[in-house]
Amino acid sequence: MSTATNSDDSQGDGLLGAGRSAAVIIASTSAARGEAADTTGPILVDWLRGRGYETPAAIVVRDGEPVGQALRELLVDTPEDERPRIIVTSGGTGLAPDDRTPEFTAELLERQSPGLIYAMWRKGLEATASAVMSRGVAGVRGRTFVINFPGSKGGVTDGITVIDELLEHIQTSVEDTTDHGPRV
């Protein structure tokens, strides 16, 4: 994984996420019940911390409505200036009846970015045909970027591979700090 730096980093430490927070939500009924270990949350938290984001331990919730509640707490109930700049979910993107993470995410987004999910599908297809079964969404609400990763370790690793190289551009675009010249 890349550890690219951001020349606009106001903290001066060269880490993209410096001065920013992130959150990870794991949609796993079995992990929420304590019947299985959360295998993807630690990977995602370590990745975001490695990029400089202040990231607490993953929030582990049951599939379905609890995912929507966790997203609403972070994207609606939290004051805008305290919201995480990045929210990554893992799980709940498949075809099971309680896999509703994409629906709860989509209803809270102002703009979607389907190309990011397409790129993750493409990367996942290098390893398994079932990658296309993930129904994740990605997009923006205010100054927060949100993306749904699959619930598997392989899907998370593929997602990180794709998103990591785009993360700085995503962040500067969402924050409108890109150096693309005057807008016409």
Count helices and strands in the chain by DSSP H and E runs: 7, 6
Cβ atoms of residues 27 and 91 within 8 Å? yes
pLDDT at residue 18, as a whole number? 87
Q: What is the maximal distance between C-alpha atoms in the chain? A: 55
Q: pLDDT under 50 in the chain at which residues?
A: 1-12, 182-184
pLDDT at residue 4, as a whole number? 39
What are 2's two structure tokens?
A: 């890349």
Q: 0.85 exceeded by the pTM?
A: yes
pLDDT at residue 14, as a whole number? 65
pLDDT at residue 132, as a whole number? 92
CB hemisphere CA count around 30 (13 angstroms): 8
Burial 12-31 (b: 16+ CB within 10 A, else e): eeebbbbebbbbbbbbbbeb
The model's pLDDT over 102-131, given as tens digits with 9 standing for 90+, comes to: 999 999 999 999 999 999 999 999 999 999
